[in-house]
């Protein structure tokens, strides 16, 4: 949901020590429009995060020089860092705005926090971007376990605690796109026709590894490795290791990339000799 | 079964667990599905569920547990307000649902042997909760998201993400024939034809301002159905979880296990000469400087036997009352949940996950200072009124019957949290994920059968006028907001609604307070009519979207209050300080609200609950043994998730 609702109800009782934080927000009215900067002075309460400040601005849409403005657009849902919606660039670093605490970024009166939209996806409006390419790539790699329908056929395969542990971490990927935004090889691509030949990036490579690890999921292993060995595949990784540094779920992305790199090599050699 | 006309389609609104399970089942049945969601479906609120999903399993079964026990626990936990046949079906299908999710690749926690691990959860003496780390909802939803993507790749599902549901389209015979929706980017308003519509739009926590819900859980979609004649049931039943982390933007859940591991609840206070506790001058300052004799351990003092581990509803009410009396920490709505006296190593080992959430969002370390918590609105037990066909012996629902989880409008269904079934007056932990998936799978078959059997009256052949009229009605509403110059601010109206609803209609309610809130609601509705927007642009206008949602939330707030006023008893989550006892002769009934368009208010009636399987008994968790007053005389081996039509 792209929204700006602001009903941050203040608890009863004496007002906590008020402090003002300046927000410098990169705004853009629509795709193709020129971006501009606006500044807002926001009174913050203890435990304020970036979202509560954006909510305050929505209810009081005036810039710091008193000019009438509009609520700032951004994607938002869970506010618990499990949905991936509110990903944006906070003081130059990509992350979820919900878990970005104001006290950390702006500890003193008058400090400034800068907000920009993610840089590798087309801007929809203000801080909201269109991450359709990422979901398109999940389709390309057939990111699912090909079950025989939803009727009762007994339990799935048993699994060791160790394997469950590594699959679980990989499965916490919320398709937020932090790893893609930080990647030098992943570049902005407005043209959907070019998505199928552009670098897929760490999140998608990790999903290939995740599904190929599953007993039933690996029946599509070859199809997935075909995607990763083609244009925009795993070989385009430049090994900057930025992805793993910005992943909010601490998924071992570089390990996944290395693992899939090896799998693609073996896949290609097999194909060379067998033609399959 | 009739053959579906090739023109026939189904619309599912909402892409959480219920919507995705329904989409997969209906697409599998061969009907094309148009899936609408305000967020990319992978970001739906179901990802917030942590604890797990309940089902009878082989270990528990050999200890004496059964599907029937699961059914009985759910009915008892819900204070007997749930219709029993659907709950019977739910509990008996649960094991097959777990198996299915397992096959789909959900990384359930494992035992050393590689079997699915189990944990203990509230309302049961048996381990019957399956889990995947502390993100079970996220993991289950991703599995269904993946299966939906598979059907999408095959062209059997079309997703309309960032589209907002505006209204159901109901023809002259009162049958649902589609929806009107709006693209939240282009702001285009369009009618979509469908032979059945499934609402799977979740709860309405945002009506209470801050809650544990995600930001799209406004209840607006349900309200839009209700305003066009769909009945709304048990609106007054809202689950308030005792321990949430108050945030400036929302409330985040703090698991009950913090108290289970010895956490103590207290507020700084000074004991007066008369023995009463009064305000502390340094309340809100560093808790470590408050001496022990100036700490009011109110749960331990008022409940010497159970102390901090009193049941949820009691803990919630006590914390609420302490804060209403002005004793909250720093005079605010918060109390301490203290684990700081425990060894850090023990906290990390037993409570690592939830400790980390607190560190991340509150910016403080629970091993150093007490956590600040307050009850938070958590789950909507009530919802759109739905019917079903009971099995002839009441043991479950008739498989594939057209009307399972259909609202009073033919062709319009409600699945998951947005309907009112299964949980009665209080939901048990780890039953929500189950009921959402069950609705999608079990009742998805009903949708497919209904559509096929009505192939002769396909929505594709319905007159264009009903679609055009519905679209025009919605365009007129948008025009109204775009031209409005009244000066009222929708964000501030929503804040006042949230504050009022939380104060009047959550933990402790009373007749006079509910009346007062109804007056306030009337005033807010009048002010809403004079709202004007800061943004009147025609691209991605979230200001407009929010204003519309607030107007619909105000409509749904009315039956929440009026239902609570009419229900002159206390049951489950609904506690009236002027009627503190459960009153079965008068109120073992479903509250049914109907919208009156002339006043904007609701009319409340009561309807009998189907209690034919388990006789109502007193709910008493103070004893460890559950009274064995009922037994399933003929436990049939069933497997609904496996039986097709």
| pLDDT per position as a tens digit, A176-186 | 999 999 999 99
Cβ within 8 Å, pair B152-A49 = no
Query: How far B171 CA sits from the closest chain A CA (Å)?
Result: 30
Q: Cβ B102–A155 below 8 Å, yes or no? A: yes
pLDDT band at residue A9, thresholds of 50, 70 and 90?
very low
CB B245 within 8 A of CB B378: no
Question: If you average pLDDT over residues B217-233, what whole number do you get?
Answer: 98
Closest B-chain CA to A249? B135
* Residues of chain A contacting residue B323, judged by C-beta atoms under 8 Å apart: 12
Interface of B with A in 242-261 (CB under 8 A): 246-250, 252
* Chain A residues within an 8 Å CB radius of B139: 168, 171
Give me the pLDDT at residue B355, please. 79
Q: Which of A262, A212, A197, A261 is nearest to A235 (CA)?
A: A261
Phi, psi of B272 (to 5 degrees): -80, 170
pLDDT tens-place string over residues B412-468: 999 999 999 999 999 988 899 999 999 999 999 999 999 999 999 999 999 999 999
Interface of A with B in 118-157 (CB under 8 A): 124-125, 128, 131, 135, 138-139, 142-147, 149-156
Measured between CB atoms, does B113 come within 8 Å of chain A? yes
Contact B248 A8 (CB under 8 A): yes
Q: Of chain B residues 395-434, which have a CB less than 8 A from chain A?
A: none
Q: CA B433, CA B136: separation in Å to the nearest integer? A: 9
A15 pLDDT higher than 90: no
Cβ pair B491:A59 closer than 8 A: yes
State whether A9 and B502 contact (CB < 8 Å): yes
Closest Cα to residue B354, out of B334, B373, B379, B382? B373
Respond yes or no: is residue B638 known to be catalytic: no
pLDDT mean over B322-341: 93
Give how far A61 is from chain B: nearest CA, Å. Answer: 7
Q: Is A29 near chain B, with CB under 8 Å?
A: yes
Nearest to A4 among B102, B132, B546 (CB): B546
Per-residue model confidence (pLDDT) at position B256: 72
Q: For chain A, what's the residue count?
A: 276
Tokens of B132: 């995947």
**B632 near A CB under 8 A:** no
Contact B65, B126 (CB under 8 A): yes
Q: Give the position of tokens 């269109």.
A: A130
- Counting Cβ atoms within 10 Å, is residue B488 exposed (0-12), middle (13-18) or buried (19+)? middle
d(C-alpha B541, C-alpha A30), whole Å: 11
- B111 contacts chain A (CB < 8 A): yes
- Confirm or reject contact between A113 and chain B (CB < 8 A): no
How far A79 CA lies from chain B's nearest CA (Å)? 7
How far apart (Å, rounded) are the C-alpha atoms in residues B83 and B608?
9
Between chains, do B209 and A7 touch, taking CB under 8 Å as contact? yes
**Contact state of A85 with B328 under an 8 Å Cβ cutoff:** no
Question: Would the CB atoms of A7 and B357 count as touching at under 8 Å?
Answer: no
Query: With an 8 Å Cβ cutoff, is A104 touching chain B?
Result: yes
Task: Give per-residue pLDDT as tens, A211-255.
Answer: 999 999 999 999 999 999 999 999 999 999 999 999 999 999 999
Q: Residue A58 — φ and ψ, nearest 5°?
A: -60, -40
Q: Is the pLDDT of residue A3 over 50?
A: no
Under the banding of pLDDT at 50, 70 and 90, the label for residue B645 is very low
pLDDT of residue A1: 52
What was the pLDDT predicted at B549? 98
Lowest-confidence pick of A179-188, B217-226, B313-322: B313-322
Which two tokens mark B338? 């203290």
pLDDT given at position B349: 63
Distance from CA of A152 to the nearest CA of B (A): 4
What residues 60-79 of chain A have any CB closer than 8 A to a CB of chain B?
61, 68-71, 73, 75-79
Look at B8 and B134; give whichever has higher pLDDT: B8
> What mean pLDDT is predicted for residues B249-265?
83
Chain A interface includes B333 (CB < 8 A): yes
β-strands B412-414, B196-199: how paired? parallel
Those of residues 134-193 in B touching chain A at CB distance below 8 A are 135, 138-139, 142-143, 146-147, 149-150, 152-153, 162, 184-185
Q: In the predicted model, what is the mean pLDDT of residues B548-555?
A: 98
- Among residues of chain B, what percentage have pLDDT more than 70? 94
Q: Give A-chain residues touching B115 at CB under 8 angstroms.
A: 158
- The answer to whether the Cβ–Cβ distance between B138 and A172 falls below 8 Å is yes
Q: Do A2 and B162 touch (CB under 8 A)?
A: yes
Q: Which of A78-87, A185-194, B351-360, B380-389 has the lowest mean pLDDT?
A: B351-360
Confidence at residue B636, expressed as pLDDT on a 0 to 100 scale: 43
* Predicted TM-score of the model (pTM): 0.93
Contact predicate A208/B81, CB 8 Å: no
Q: Which residues of B527-556 are buried (b: 16+ CB within 10 A; e: fewer)?
A: bbeebbbbbeeebbbbbbbbbbbbbbbbbb
| Separation CA A93–CA A98 (nearest Å) | 14
How far apart are the C-alpha atoms of B643 and B130, rounded to whole Å?
23
Assess B335–A contact: CB distance below 8 Å, yes or no. Answer: no
Residue B640 pLDDT grade (very low, low, confident, very high; cuts 50, 70, 90): very low
A 226-265 residues with CB < 8 A to B: none
> pLDDT by residue (tens digit) across B478-493?
999 999 999 999 999 9
Q: Decide if pLDDT at A109 tops 80.
A: yes
* Distance, C-alpha B317 to centroid of its chain: 20
Residue A103 touches chain B, beta carbons under 8 Å? yes
pLDDT at B453: 97
* Distance in angstroms (rounded) separating the CA atoms of residues A222 and A230: 12
Window from A265-269, B9-13, B116-120, B335-339 with minimum mean pLDDT: B116-120
Nearest CA in chain A to B326: A13
* Phi/psi-derived region of residue B526, left when phi > 0, alpha when psi is between -120 and 50, beta in every other case: alpha
The residue among A30, A77, A210, A227 with the most chain B CBs within 10 A of its CB, best to mutate, is A77
Task: Of B95, B174, B217, give the one whose Cα is nearest residue A77.
Answer: B217
How large is the average pLDDT for residues B374-389? 97
- In this model, does residue B238 exceed pLDDT 80? yes
Cα B594 to Cα A188, B179, B226, B504, B524: the distances in Å are: 51, 20, 7, 22, 20
Helices B464-483 and B542-566: angle between axes, nearest 10 degrees? 100
Structure tokens at B465: 């006028």
Q: What is the pLDDT of residues B516-549, one digit of tens each?
A: 999 999 999 999 999 999 999 999 999 999 999 9
Confidence of residue B632 (pLDDT cuts 50, 70, 90): low
The pLDDT-based confidence of B350 (bands split at 50, 70, 90) is low
Residues in B closer than 8 angstroms to A4, CB to CB, are 542-543, 546
pLDDT at B630 over 80: no
Inspect the interface and report whether the beta carbons of B103 and A216 lie closer than 8 Å.
yes
Mean pLDDT of chain B: 92
Chain A residues near residue B357 by CB distance under 8 angstroms: 80
Q: How far apart are the first and last CA of chain B?
A: 8
Q: Across the interface, which of B28, B48, B641 has its CB nearest the CB of A80?
A: B48
Which listed residue (B312, B525, B562, B638) is catalytic?
Answer: B312
Strand ranges in B303-392 using DSSP code E only, listed in sequence order: 335-338, 371-380, 383-384
pLDDT of B353 reads 67
Rounded CA separation B178/B36 (Å):
12
Chain B stretch 354-393, residues whose beta carbon is closer than 8 A to a beta carbon of chain A: 357, 360-363, 374
Interface check A213 vs B, CB under 8 A:
no
Q: What is the DSSP string of chain A?
A: -EE-----PPPSSSPPPPEEEEEEEEE-SSTTSPPEEEEEEEEE-TT-BHHHHHHHHHHS-B-TTS-B--PPPEE-S-SSSSS-TTEEEETTEEEESTT-BHHHH--STT-EEEEE--SSS-EEETTEE--HHHHHHHHHTT-S---S-SS---------HHHHHHHHHHHT-----HHHHT-TT------GGGGGGS---HHHHHHHHHHHHSTTGGGGHHHHHHHHHSTTSGGG-----HHHHH-TT---HHHHHHHHHHHHHHHHHHHHHH--
Question: Which of the four pLDDT bands, split at 50, 70 and 90, describes residue B621?
Answer: low
């Amino acid at each position: 949901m792209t929204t700006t609702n602001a009903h941050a109800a203040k608890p009863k009782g004496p007002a906590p020590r008020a402090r003002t934080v300046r927000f410098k927000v990169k705004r853009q009215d629509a795709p193709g429009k020129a971006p501009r900067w606006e500044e807002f002075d926001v009174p913050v309460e203890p435990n304020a995060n970036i979202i509560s400040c954006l909510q305050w601005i929505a209810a009081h849409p005036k810039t710091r020089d008193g000019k009438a403005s509009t609520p700032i657009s951004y994607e938002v849902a869970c506010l618990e860092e499990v949905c991936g919606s509110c990903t944006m660039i906070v003081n130059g670093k990509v992350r979820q705005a919900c878990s970005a605490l104001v006290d950390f970024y702006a500890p003193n009166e008058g400090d400034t926090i800068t907000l920009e939209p993610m840089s590798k996806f087309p801007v929809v409006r203000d801080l909201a971007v269109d991450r359709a390419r990422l979901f398109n790539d999940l389709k390309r790699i057939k990111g699912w376990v090909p079950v025989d329908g939803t009727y009762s056929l007994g339990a799935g395969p048993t699994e060791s605690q160790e394997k469950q542990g590594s699959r679980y971490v990989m499965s916490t990927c919320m398709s937020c796109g932090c790893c893609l935004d930080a990647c030098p090889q992943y570049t902005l691509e407005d043209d959907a026709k070019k998505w199928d030949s552009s670098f897929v990036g760490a999140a998608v490579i990790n999903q290939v590894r995740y599904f190929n690890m599953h007993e039933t999921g690996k029946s599509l292993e070859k199809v997935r490795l075909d995607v990763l060995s083609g244009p925009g595949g795993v070989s385009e990784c430049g090994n900057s290791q930025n992805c793993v540094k910005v992943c909010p779920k601490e998924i071992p992305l570089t390990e996944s990339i290395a693992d899939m790199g090896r799998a693609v090599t073996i896949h290609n050699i097999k194909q060379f000799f067998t033609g399959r | 079964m009739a053959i579906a006309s090739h023109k026939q389609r189904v619309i599912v609104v909402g892409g959480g667990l219920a919507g995705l399970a329904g989409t997969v089942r209906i697409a599998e049945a061969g009907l094309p599905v148009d899936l609408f969601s305000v967020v990319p479906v992978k970001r739906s609120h179901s990802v917030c569920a942590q604890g797990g999903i309940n089902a009878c399993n082989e270990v528990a079964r050999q200890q004496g547990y059964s599907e029937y026990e699961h059914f009985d626990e759910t009915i008892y936990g819900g204070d007997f307000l749930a219709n029993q046949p659907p709950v019977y079906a739910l509990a008996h299908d649960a094991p097959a649902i777990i198996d299915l999710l397992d096959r789909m690749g959900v990384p359930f926690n494992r035992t050393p042997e590689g079997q699915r691990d189990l944990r203990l959860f509230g309302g049961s003496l048996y381990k019957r909760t399956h889990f995947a780390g502390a993100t079970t909802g996220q993991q289950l939803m991703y599995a269904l998201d993946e299966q939906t993507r598979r059907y999408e790749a095959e062209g059997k599902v079309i997703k309309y993400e960032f589209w907002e549901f505006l209204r159901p389209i109901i023809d002259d015979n009162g049958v649902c024939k589609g929806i009107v929706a709006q693209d939240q980017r282009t702001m285009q308003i369009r009618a979509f034809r469908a032979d059945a519509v499934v609402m799977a739009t979740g709860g309405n926590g945002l009506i209470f301002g801050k809650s544990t819900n995600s930001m799209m859980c406004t209840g607006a979609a349900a309200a839009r159905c209700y305003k066009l004649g769909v009945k709304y049931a048990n609106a007054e039943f809202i689950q308030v979880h005792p321990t949430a982390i108050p945030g400036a933007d929302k409330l985040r859940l703090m698991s009950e296990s913090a108290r289970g591991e010895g956490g103590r609840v207290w507020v700084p206070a000074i004991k007066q000469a008369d023995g009463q506790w009064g305000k502390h001058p340094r309340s809100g300052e560093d808790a470590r400087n408050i001496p022990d004799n100036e700490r009011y351990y109110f749960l331990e003092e008022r409940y010497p036997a159970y102390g901090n581990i009193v049941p949820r509803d009691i803990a919630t009410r006590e914390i609420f009352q302490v804060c209403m009396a002005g004793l909250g920490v720093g005079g605010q709505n918060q109390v301490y949940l203290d684990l700081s006296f425990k060894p850090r190593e023990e906290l990390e080992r037993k409570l690592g996950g939830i400790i980390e959430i607190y560190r991340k969002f509150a910016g403080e370390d629970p091993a150093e200072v007490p956590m600040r918590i307050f009850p938070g609105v958590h789950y909507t037990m009530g919802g759109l009124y739905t019917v079903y066909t009971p099995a002839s012996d009441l043991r479950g629902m008739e498989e594939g019957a057209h009307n399972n989880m259909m609202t009073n409008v033919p062709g319009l269904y409600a699945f998951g949290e947005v309907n009112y079934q299964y949980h009665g007056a209080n939901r048990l932990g780890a039953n929500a994920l189950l009921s959402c998936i069950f609705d999608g799978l079990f009742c998805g078959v009903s949708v497919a059968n209904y559509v096929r059997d009505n192939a002769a009256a396909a929505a594709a052949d319905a007159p264009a006028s009903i679609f055009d009229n519905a679209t025009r009605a919605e365009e007129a509403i948008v025009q109204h907001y775009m031209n409005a110059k009244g000066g009222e601010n929708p964000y501030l109206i929503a804040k006042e609604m949230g504050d009022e609803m939380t104060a009047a209609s959550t933990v402790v309610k009373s007749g006079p307070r509910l009346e007062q809130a109804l007056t306030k609601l009337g005033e807010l509705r009048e002010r809403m009519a004079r709202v004007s927007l800061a943004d009147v642009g025609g691209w991605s206008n979230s200001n407009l979207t929010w204003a519309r949602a607030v107007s619909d939330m105000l409509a749904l707030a009315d039956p929440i209050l009026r239902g609570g006023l009419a229900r002159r008893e206390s049951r489950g989550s609904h506690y009236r300080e002027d009627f503190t006892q459960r009153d079965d002769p008068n109120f073992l009934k479903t509250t049914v609200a109907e919208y009156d368009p002339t006043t904007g208010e609701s009319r409340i009636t009561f309807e009998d609950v189907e209690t034919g399987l388990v006789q109502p008994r007193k709910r008493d968790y103070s004893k460890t043994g559950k009274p064995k007053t009922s037994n399933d005389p003929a436990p049939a081996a069933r497997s609904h998730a496996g039986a097709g039509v």
